[in-house]
Structure 1
Amino acid sequence: MQGKRILLLMLGWLSLITGIIGIFLPLLPTTPLVLLAAWCFSKSSERFHTWLLGHKLFGPIIRDWQSSDGIPKRSRNRAIFFMWAGMAVSMFIVSRLWATIGLVTVGVAVSIYLLRMPIRTENTEHVEKPKNVEDKPH
């Protein structure tokens, strides 16, 4: 069991670091990698999972995903816009029919998924932080 824990810790940190790099590189996705890191930490280290949930930048992403309240409409629309913009640039640069078909297929599937997600209304409160997460500056 210790080997599995170490493997999940390493995968969690690798995902988080790659996600942070994705903030600056437009074609590297940040949110899925942060969500993967949160899952890995939830299975391997309560300390790192709690830290990630309480992080001022990444915590809200994870709590929104775990919430049944849905995602903000603005976030959904921005995600769809930037995904298609990034794929359009990739299609232009690669200029291969098979790559274009693949990107369009993935883009349509992800767009349908995002459009089917519940939208959080303005009156819906955010999910509260876990009880063991303090509200102190990091």
Structure 2
Amino acid sequence: MKLALNLIGGIAVVLAILGVFLPLLPTTPFLLLASACFARGSTRLHAWLINNRVFGAYLRDVEQGRGIPLRGKVVALAMLWASIGYSAFAVGSMALVALLISIAAGVTIYLCAFVPTLRTR
């Protein structure tokens, strides 16, 4: 089981790094997935990830319940709605459009109502 968690975590890290450079590939969900997998699969890999100079502070804030910076929430929601809007325009099925909008609305509600906003220090 630990091997599978570490493998999934490694793939998530690679996808997160790609997400930094590719506009429609999200970085944060993959980082959070990697952190969760490494926390259960390898304390060494988890420590490496949360002490990373680029992503570490962000992950520590989320894991310790301090939240996500307001700028991060705004960028995440803008990218979410832009990609959902484009996808909804591109697909022909009204059922898929309704599903996409429902998912985006759910993510928006979760991010705004349940994830704390980190106050700048």
Q: Is the TM-score greater than 0.5?
A: yes
RCO comparison, higher one (Cα < 8 Å, 6+): 1
TM-score normalized by the length of structure 2: 0.88
Structure 2: give runs of 5+ residues left out of the alignment: none
Code of the residue aligned with 1:77 in structure 2: it is: V
Q: Distance in 1 between matches of 2:66 and 2:16?
A: 24
Q: Is the 8 A contact 1:31 1:61 kept in 2?
A: no
TM-aligned CA deviation for residue 14 of structure 1: 1.1
What is the match of residue 44 of structure 1? 41
TM-aligned CA deviation for residue 54 of structure 1: 1.0
Q: Distance in 2 between matches of 1:5 and 1:70?
A: 28
Let me know the Cα RMSD of the aligned residues: 1.5
Q: Distance in 2 between matches of 1:77 and 1:104?
A: 18
Q: Moved runs in structure 1, 4+ residues, more than 6 A? A: none
Structure 1: give runs of 5+ residues left out of the alignment: 124-138
* Structure possessing the higher radius of gyration over alpha carbons: 1
Q: Distance in 1 between matches of 2:8 and 2:100?
A: 26
Q: Is the 8 A contact 2:84 2:100 kept in 1?
A: yes
Deviations 1:47-94 (A, max 9, x none): 111111111222123112112222211211111111101111111222
- For residue 60 of structure 1, give the secondary structure of its aligned residue in structure 2: helix
Structure 1 counterpart of 2:69, from 57, 69, 72: 72
Structure 1 counterpart of 2:118, from 92, 98, 120: 120
TM-aligned CA deviation for residue 10 of structure 1: 1.0
TM-score normalized by the length of structure 1: 0.78
Q: Is residue 102 from structure 1 mapped to residue 99 from structure 2 by the alignment?
A: yes
Structure-to-structure mapping, 1:1-138, within 5 angstroms: 4-116=1-113, 117-123=115-121
Q: Distance in 2 between matches of 1:70 and 1:19?
A: 19
Q: Is the 8 A contact 2:58 2:68 kept in 1?
A: no
